[in-house]
Amino acid sequence: MDNRVRVVIAEDSVLLREGLTRLLTDRGHEVVAGVGDAEALVKTVADLAAEGALPDVVVADVRMPPTHTDEGVRAAVRLRRDYPGIGVLVLSQYVEEQYATELLAGSSTGVGYLLKDRVADVREFLDAVVRVARGGTALDPEVVAQLLGRSRKQDVLAGLTPREREVLGLMAEGRTNSAVAKQLVVSDGAVEKHVSNIFMKLGLSPSDGDHRRVLAVLTYLRS
């Protein structure tokens, strides 16, 4: 399968924006636009939509001009609402639980939230971009750890064993069963059993299809 994707980058730091552009284009992806604020991001995507040339994914900073608070994530939420087919991957300097929850509270596909430090791991970042562009999820391990910590206090996951919580955390990062098995040094079969138990305990039926992986995470994000 061709993993090349079309990307729009929204980042007010020219140095980081150019760096991301070079990183993506060097790997064969197409950066169709790079902008420095949320208003320009929304307008650019609207213009591309009018031309019938929507990007596969938008990579956006959470904080952008003019106030450097939540413009980026607000634009990301709006784009997810107006253009459901676009993947949205937001980058943040710190774990900001409110923004992560807001971004993940809509559609359960094509969304990611990574800390900017994660960009230093080139392979991991590029994998996340492609995964989100293809409708998957990519959550930073630090984001997952904080959200799981909050949910434990609220007893949302009280029925899960410690190992099942660990598996759920890795699932939330966007890892496949095989990747989870490798991380935990267990068999694929053991992971499949844990995942099945998680789905059952969270009340996610087979009719929910492949989205159950994301719904399992959203179960506690929405609590």
pLDDT of residue 223: 47
Token digits of residue 84: 């459901």
Q: What is the pLDDT of residue 137?
A: 83
What backbone torsions phi and psi does residue 31 show, to the nearest 5 degrees? -90, 105
- Whole-number pLDDT of residue 32: 97
Res 138: pLDDT? 84
Q: Quote the pLDDT of residue 126.
A: 93
Measured CA to CA in angstroms, residue 26 lies from 22, 41, 126, 157 at distances of 6, 23, 11, 42
Q: Residues of the chain whose pLDDT is less than 50?
A: 1, 152-153, 208-209, 223
pLDDT at 133: 94
